[in-house]
Each structure stands twice: as structure tokens, then as C-alpha cells.
Amino acid sequence: MLPASNAYDFPLLIKHLLTNASRAHARQEIVSHPNTRLSYETFERRVHQLAHSLNNCGIEDAMRVGVMDWDSNRYLECFFAVPMMGATLFTINVRLSPAQLLYTINHGAPDLIIVHRDFMPLIDEIKSGFERDITIIPIGDGDGYEAWIGKAADRFDFPDFEEARTATLFYTTGTTGNPKGVSYSHRQLVLHTLGLLVGFGVWPGDAGFHRGDVYMPLTPLFHVHGWGFPYAATMLGVKQVYSGRYEPDSLLRLIADEGVTFSHCVPTILSMLLERPSAAHIDLNRWKVIIGGAALPRGLQDRAAEAGICLHAAYGMSETCPFLTVADLSSDDPQIQAQTGFAGPLIDLRVVTPDMEDVPHDGETIGEVVARAPWLTQAYLDNAQASDALWSGGYLHTGDVGYMREDGSVQITDRLKDVIKTGGEWVSSLALENIASSCNGIEDVAAIGMPHEKWGERPVLLAQAAKGANLEDLRTSVLRAVQSQVDAGALSKWAMPDLLLFVDQLPKTSVGKLDKKQMREDVLKYSDIKS
């Protein structure tokens, strides 16, 4: 059957995520700390003004626009205006080292960068190394940006184009080499948005993400599109709150004052908030939090439950846009609490051997997690070798190891690179971290494998103790807890750590993950464990 001559072949474009929200929820608020409140109607008008402003600066179809800003309405406006005009949004990680920042800018080749004044010193430090002419638009929280877009017309003709057009670009954190460029098309982002809404909207009762929620991301917007929820929240037309700088007491006040019900963050951020004395005076019983980016230590999970927080876990990575699985951590079932979760809609998730054969779904047999989904990145920017390795065998390789249960749920046990290989056995660093984090007085902990001449590697624990804790008593408590799991047969004898080192703070990557590469380098400074 031939379509009607005037039928509209609806392309999956980011502009269509905004259409109904700006109409049906025109008066709903988008709040940007400290003093900006916009209606969706005003937000859409500003998206048009930003597109005109970029166009007036020479930005045209297929060019790249970088952004260096705090989480704000300005950033959200860039999420829409830049790809809607046919350009590529380049979300620049402001927490990278100057050398890595320069590398990503030169490799990503933006034509223009919008830079908050707080980050101009970074640009001034590295701009002599720019390999091309880049227009820099310096802005402030209100004055610079408002003056820039305020002169522009409030209607821009956003064209239709191929949904395969690149919409976004960002770079991985680069803990194992130079950061890699990851890009996504309009089609991928629209499908990912729909996948999020289905995957997180089907939970019973009030546990899911829905139009009644008040959304505040606690994941920087430069990190995998703020995990994709800004697009989903805008499509739903929910009230959104953007916090600017991540200051713990300010975040807690926003949660209370704006009635925030839905957020997502890495464990580090959640721990930071719960440690504040003011957290005890805020009702967190309506707050739903998605934990991702790193494994949630069991001790932190228990503290969140005591505060009344409804916890879910999401699993994914930069290369998966990132949504792959979701798990309900607020369940009373310990088996459910412990799992990484179930694959979301349209996601083909497998656990395989090195030969790409499925491992038994027995909840025990370990393999690498691989995936297919309509929103996975297809390649790294200008890195064919890494792209081929990423998609070896026709599935995207996550680099994570775990097992699958009979019901299809998945449990990640470690990063492939973080598994501790000792005495001919694999020891899960996550298992050790969960045991240690459950001990009173442990604020944060990491397990790493260090080279050993006889045994290949040996486990070492690095821990951050609570203020005032007796370190020797705490050391005894942690080692006894690990030993009890060995005695019970839950852990191999090889899992007993050779060292437990207390540090003031564990090193983290720019997106809040444990930086185990740096830890291994640091441990070598403290102790010789090679023999």
C-alpha cells in the first residue's frame, strides 16, 4: 500500500520530544537555582532564541557546539536547541584534567563553545593548544547568557532531516587511556527516551517515574546526557529543578523546598547528602533515587533505607546511552535487593563466554555482559580499532562480568578489568566492598588487585573511615567480617586481603566512579606487596 501523497513520514527527532510538553504543560515550571523559574512555554521560546543566537554566530547544519556549564536551564536549552537546528551538541566534561580537556576539545573539534565564567580559567589555560579556530561565548548565571539570547527572535524554523543525524557527542572518562568520543543520533535518543519512560514507569504504586514527579538530576548534564532523564522529564512535562553547583546543603534545601521526588546519582553523591547533619531534618520518604555509574555499597544502601529513600539501581555505560537494566533496591527480598536488575524494553542482554556462547542461567556461572539495543553507540569517533573491539561478535561488549538467573535478571559482579585474579581463582572486588561497607565506621571502600609474583594478584582494601573511628578496631572488624564469609564458604580463601589501608579520601573519576587505576598507583607508594 502506497502512503497518501501528503502523509507525514514522522522522523524520530529531538524536536518532537518538546512538542506536546510545551502545549499540554505550558505553565509547568523549570527551576534553575538560585533564582530562575521558567514555564515550559517560556522554555520553548528560549530554545528558539538560543538557536537564532547560535545561527547568528555562524553555527549551521552539522557543526558542533560545545557546552561548559553547571546544571541549569541554560544547559537544558542547549539539549534541545543545538540538535534541533541540525548541529551536534558536544557536552564537555569540565572535571577532566587540563590535558584531557584539551585532548577532547581538539579531537571533538567544536566550532563554538558556550563557557560559564567559572570555567573560563580552564579555557584560558589550554586555548593556546587549540588546533582550530573556536568561537568562545562566555556566559554567567544570568547576565551574559540572557544578554546573548535576549536580542534574538523567538521563532526558529527547526527543519526536518534524517533521524540518523548525529545529535550529541561526549567523551568517556578515559581511566585506561585517552577519552573516547561517543555519539548518538536523534533516532537513538528518542528511542532511549521512550525506553526510559517504559522501563522506569512500570513499577507498581508510586515507585516509578511519572507526570506527578518533581525531577532533579544529581548527575552532571555532561555525563551521558544527564543519564537521559532530562529528555524524558521534558517529554512528560514534569516540574524540573536544576541545582547549579553541587553543594550538599543547597541540594537538600532544594529537595525540601521544591518537593523533589525523583533524582539519580552515583553512590558518592548520595553518601555526601546523607552525611550532612541537615539531612536528618528533611523528610526523604517521597524521594525516589536511581543509583548508577558505580556499584552501591550495601552499607550505603542500608543508610538510604533508614532515611526512607526509595532506591532503584540502573545499569549501563557511556556507550549504551546508558540504560540497560533496572532493579528495585527497596524490595524486602534480599535476592532482589542484590541484583543489577532486569533488561529494559527492546534490550537484548546476554552473559557470554569468550567464544560468545551463553553461560548457563543458573545464578552462578560468570561471563561477560554483552548487549544489543536500538540506542547503543555504533562506533567511537575516529577510532576504528576500539570500535571493532567494542562490537566484536555483533554485540556491544560492556567490559563487565556477572551472571544471569533463570528469570533473566542479571547480577554484575565486577568490571572485567577489576576482577582480582589470585591463586588461580577470580575474586569479586564488589563482594569485598559490600562486606567492608557493612561494617560500622566505614564511609567508603574499594577493593583492588595488586601484582604478586607468586599468586598473580592479591586483594587490597582501601577504606575511608568515619570521623573519630578507632582505626585498629575498625581494621579488626573488617577483616573478621571477610573471614566470616570465607569460613561460611561464601568467599574463596583467596579473597582475604593482604592489606587494609585507611585513606582520607578515595580517588574518584570526573563522574564520581572509583578510580582504581589511581588507587593501584597510590598503593605502590605505601607498601611493597610484590613478593
Do residues 387 and 376 touch, judged by C-beta distance below 8 A?
Answer: no
In a domain, 54, yes or no: yes
In a domain, 7, yes or no: no
pLDDT above 50 for 68 = yes
Whether 426 sits among the annotated catalytic residues: the reply is yes
- 307 and 377 belong to one structural domain: yes
Whether 319 sits among the annotated catalytic residues: the reply is yes
Give me the mean pLDDT over the 461-477 stretch.
Answer: 88
Give me the mean pLDDT over the 476-501 stretch.
Answer: 85
Structural domain boundaries, residue 148? 20-410
- 132 and 219 belong to one structural domain: yes
- Report how far Cα 482 is from the mean position of its chain's Cα atoms: 30
- 405 and 422 belong to one structural domain: no
Domain end call among 379, 410, 441:
410
Do residues 336 and 316 touch, judged by C-beta distance below 8 A?
Answer: no
Specify the pLDDT at position 517. Answer: 78
How many structural domains compose the chain?
Answer: 2
Give me the mean pLDDT over the 7-13 stretch.
Answer: 93
Give me the mean pLDDT over the 34-51 stretch.
Answer: 96
- 457 and 401 belong to one structural domain: no
Whole-number percent of the chain with pLDDT over 90:
62
- 198 and 270 belong to one structural domain: yes
Whats the size of the chain, residue-wise? Answer: 531
Distance CA 406, CA 94 (A): 42
Residue 182's φ and ψ, nearest 5 degrees, are -120, 130
Domain end call among 410, 426, 458:
410
- 503 and 374 belong to one structural domain: no
In a domain, 162, yes or no: yes
Please identify which of the residues 258, 319, 368, 443 carries the catalytic annotation.
Answer: 319
- 142 and 265 belong to one structural domain: yes
Specify the pLDDT at position 249. Answer: 96
- Report how far Cα 32 is from the mean position of its chain's Cα atoms: 21
The three-state (H, E, C) secondary structure of 325-338, written as one string: EEEECCCCCHHHHC
In a domain, 6, yes or no: no
Place of cell 522529564: 233
- 30 and 76 belong to one structural domain: yes
Distance CA 203, CA 430 (A): 27
Give me the mean pLDDT over the 171-190 stretch.
Answer: 87
- 63 and 181 belong to one structural domain: yes
Residue 68's φ and ψ, nearest 5 degrees, are -130, 95
Please identify which of the residues 421, 455, 513, 517 carries the catalytic annotation.
Answer: 421
Most confident of 141-145, 358-362, 495-499: 358-362
Give me the mean pLDDT over the 377-390 stretch.
Answer: 96
In a domain, 337, yes or no: yes
Specify the pLDDT at position 117. Answer: 95
> Element (H or E) spanning 1, and its range?
none
- 166 and 63 belong to one structural domain: yes
> Element (H or E) spanning 305, and its range?
helix 298-306
255-264, 268-277, 330-339, 347-356: which has the minimum mean pLDDT?
Answer: 330-339
Inter-CA distances, 391 with 108, 214, 315, 317, 387, Å:
22, 38, 19, 14, 6
- Domain harbouring 505, CATH code: 3.30.300.30
In a domain, 1, yes or no: no
Residue 34's φ and ψ, nearest 5 degrees, are -100, -20
pLDDT per residue as tens digits for the range 388-441: 999 999 999 999 989 999 999 998 887 777 778 776 667 778 788 888 888 888
In a domain, 481, yes or no: yes
- Domain harbouring 174, CATH code: 3.40.50.12780
Whether 421 sits among the annotated catalytic residues: the reply is yes
Please identify which of the residues 426, 455, 513, 517 carries the catalytic annotation.
Answer: 426
- 398 and 448 belong to one structural domain: no
Whether 42 sits among the annotated catalytic residues: the reply is no
- 360 and 380 belong to one structural domain: yes
In a domain, 88, yes or no: yes
pLDDT above 90 for 189 = yes
Domain end call among 410, 427, 444:
410
Distance CA 49, CA 55 (A): 10
Contacts of 285 (CB under 8 A, 6+ apart): 308, 309
Of 333, 326, 268, nearest to 294 by C-alpha is 268
Please identify which of the residues 166, 172, 261, 268 carries the catalytic annotation.
Answer: 172
Choose between 528 and 76: higher pLDDT: 76
